[in-house]
Structure 1
């Protein structure tokens, strides 16, 4: 199966950093996709997650791995400014960042691949979710 997906930072980071079966499952799902649609702030959110890790060599290695991964040619960064009205509609139930992921999936009519179970159960989103 080959398709486009919307991808959030939680799933992407788990695919890169999680060595458990869950990480393997996400990597398998990403491997089936031909294009990963993400909001334009995706890179910053991923790197900020790494910055919050414990200082030391593991954090530096994590930052390096994530930074190299962000150069993946399958990642297609989407400007979300035009989606602000829909993002605002979703704000009572989800964060602005999560709303941007949802709206990206809705706009392109693709599933949102996420590790955020709470987001997938929130009222308001009209996209399909692939939750890992």
Structure 2
């Protein structure tokens, strides 16, 4: 809710349907980053941590990419559309990859199942934001 308020109140906010999707994407990216960090930490606490090594790596990579994407998408003064497009593309790929890995562990580790859900939501909103952003530059 605070992200939406802040982005709406920004003097350079452009409004329109793309703005709403981008705002939801920012919220999802920050949410996904937090959940990925928590999932990585929970994986480190599991007895089978060696089997979860790739999951931990992908969780942390995804969290970093989500944070960068959320931060860049939040900035409304001026525009850096090519960079934002690349970040949204990269974030969608990182989220899809992380969701796939976490899904493999979801039956044994509920935190991985929750992380996979957050990653899929973020991936979906990144792709929606990409379509909206690309429609404005064409």
Pair in the same fold by TM > 0.5: no
Which protein is richer in strand relative to its size?
1
Which protein is richer in helix relative to its size?
2
